[in-house]
A and B are shown apart, each in its own frame.
Chain A
Amino acid sequence: DAGVTQSPTHLIKTRGQQVTLRCSPKSGHDTVSWYQQALGQGPQFIFQYYEEEERQRGNFPDRFSGHQFPNYSSELNVNALLLGDSALYLCASSFDRQGAFFGQGTRLTVV
């Protein structure tokens, strides 16, 4: 079992661009959550996907959107990137309110 895998591991984008981050959940998990960790902060909840729909959303603007596919994998899209979007983006998968398993994250740098 490969656990939760995220891609890419690092990327650099320019302000105003759009980015897509990808996550494959742990085998047997059907729920995917995304978190943003800015420097010096704990991870902040962005949104959660279950049964291909957004089930809950944190306090993030509409520039942040996502998708879940039938195989439970997920994408996080961020439009019109701002410098402040530079952060580590973590994906977590879970099943039936059990503990969440995390990927290693994608480090996004916006210049």
Chain B
Amino acid sequence: ILNVEQSPQSLHVQEGDSTNFTCSFPSSNFYALHWYRWETAKSPEALFVMTLNGDEKKKGRISATLNTKEGYSYLYIKGSQPEDSATYLCAFTSGYSTLTFGKGTMLLVSP
């Protein structure tokens, strides 16, 4: 049984703070690690797909790193804004594009 763990479960920060979340996943049979942002009443939105050990991806103020050997990924948000408030999900895939999700980290950014 594949187990994807995310921490923290929730986070409340002030506007302008930087923050980071952790995703741990099985290091065997790895194909890709996905990060999604999910705002209330919307579809989960893909942020990054990471496949190579040591991968670093960036999209605006959000970046992510990947360590496949030890089975973890970090997501960083620099200078959080209220519009960053969402649940951030990571998902592991070992093939066929089926995703095994963590429970997510719920981020609330206060003005």
Chain A residues within CB distance 8 Å of chain B? 3-4, 31, 33, 35, 40-45, 48, 55-56, 58, 90, 92, 94, 97-105
In the complex, number of A-B residue pairs with CB atoms less than 8 Å apart = 59
Main secondary structure of the interface of B (DSSP, over half): loop
In the complex, A40 Cα to B103 Cα: how many Å? 7
Contact between chains at A101 and B46 (CB < 8 Å): yes
- Does the CB pair A41–B103 fall under 8 Å? yes
- Are A55 and B96 in contact (CB-based, < 8 A)? yes
B49 & A99 in contact (Cβ 8 Å cutoff): yes
Whether B104 contacts A42 by the Cβ 8 Å rule is yes
Complex-state Cα separation, A41 to B104, whole angstroms? 8
Q: CA of A41 to CA of B103 in the docked complex: distance in angstroms?
A: 5
A42 touches B97 (CB 8 A): no
| B100 contacts A by Cβ under 8 Å | yes
Contact for B96 among A56, A92, A105, CB less than 8 A: A56
The residue from B43, B97, B102 contacting A102, defined by CB atoms under 8 A apart: B43
Question: Is A104 within 8 A of B43, CB to CB?
Answer: yes
Quick check: is B89 within 8 A (CB to CB) of the other chain?
A: yes
- Residues of A with C-beta under 8 A to B6: 42
B42 at the interface (CB under 8 A from A): yes
